[in-house]
Amino acid sequence: MSGNARVLDSLDRPLSPCSEDRAIKLIGSGKAELVSESPLIIRLLRKIDIPTPKPEPPHVLDGQQILLHICCGPCATYTVKRLRALGANVTGYWHNPNIHPFSEHERRLETLLGYAGEIDLSVIQSESYEMPAFFRAVVGHEQFRERCAICYRLRLERAARDAAEQGIGWFTTTLLISPHQDQDLICALGHELGDKYGVRFYYENFRRGFREHNEMARAHDLYMQNYCGCIYSEWEAEIARQRRQVGDEERQTPTG
């Protein structure tokens, strides 16, 4: 014989199936009785202790308030969705003095506020646009990564401080969704500043949702910028585009 037989215990609760040969042996040994020949179903003559599955422990954010530092509308899409799925009560937070020029800062903020209205997300805005503070902090440290570390600290420290002042126990940042940012450094700074202000930093590799965040941003017709934010990143992005353009033109030029 071949195939599987359905197996019930003495209380008619389904158990794991067994082979037809095994089912016949159980019947022959007096340990089971035949319920049906087609399909083959047997009933064991004893009750089986079936362990009750342990419930999943609640996620650390379940029912918790969290302040989400947001760098732009598109980055808020997946991140807010993910945090809400974990049971968190999310409040957005805007503090990005690195974004230049002022018109770009306002366009990104307007995009975020428009999207926040669509998804019923409350957003706290910091007091003012503090562009001079950003430049004073990075002067002499304009190189990529070096200035980024300073920029992360400026924004995360303000978020941690304001989370504490608002009585919000957790904070995190949408910077964690970008493949261009230093996740390890962001995580280390987040925990350091959380300890300083008495709040907890939530770390997750939100990059797993990067493709979905792009799809969501397009579906909501959100403005999607083409540089990180500061004037240095805009300059570097433009240089990279020019190099790609030259490379494309060289590849298209026929050779003799």
Query: Which residues are CB-neighbours of 224 under 8 A, at least 6 positions away?
Result: 74, 214, 217, 218
Tokens of 77: 């899409």
Place of tokens 């807010």: 80
* pLDDT tens-digit readout, 208-240: 999 999 999 999 999 999 889 998 998 888 888
* pLDDT (0 to 100) of residue 58: 82
* pLDDT tens-digit readout, 92-108: 999 999 999 999 999 99
Tokens of 98: 């690195």
d(CA 189, CA 193): 6
**Residue 94 DSSP label:** E
CA angle 201, 109, 214 (to 5 degrees): 75
Which secondary-structure segment (H or E) carries 74? helix 73-85
Q: Which domains, and CATH codes, for the chain?
A: 4-44 (no CATH), 65-235 (3.40.50.620)
Q: Mind giving me the DSSP string for 117-152?
A: HHHT--EEE-SS--HHHHHHHHTT--STTHHHHHHH
The count of other CB atoms within 10 Å of the CB of residue 107 is: 16
Whether the Cβ atoms of residue 15 and residue 48 lie closer than 8 Å to each other? yes
Q: What percent of the chain has pLDDT over 90?
A: 71
Whether the Cβ atoms of residue 65 and residue 89 lie closer than 8 Å to each other? yes
pTM of the model: 0.75
What 3-state class would DSSP assign to 64? coil
Q: Which of 153, 158, 211, 225 is nearest to 182 (CA)?
A: 153
The answer to whether residue 1 scores a pLDDT higher than 80 is no
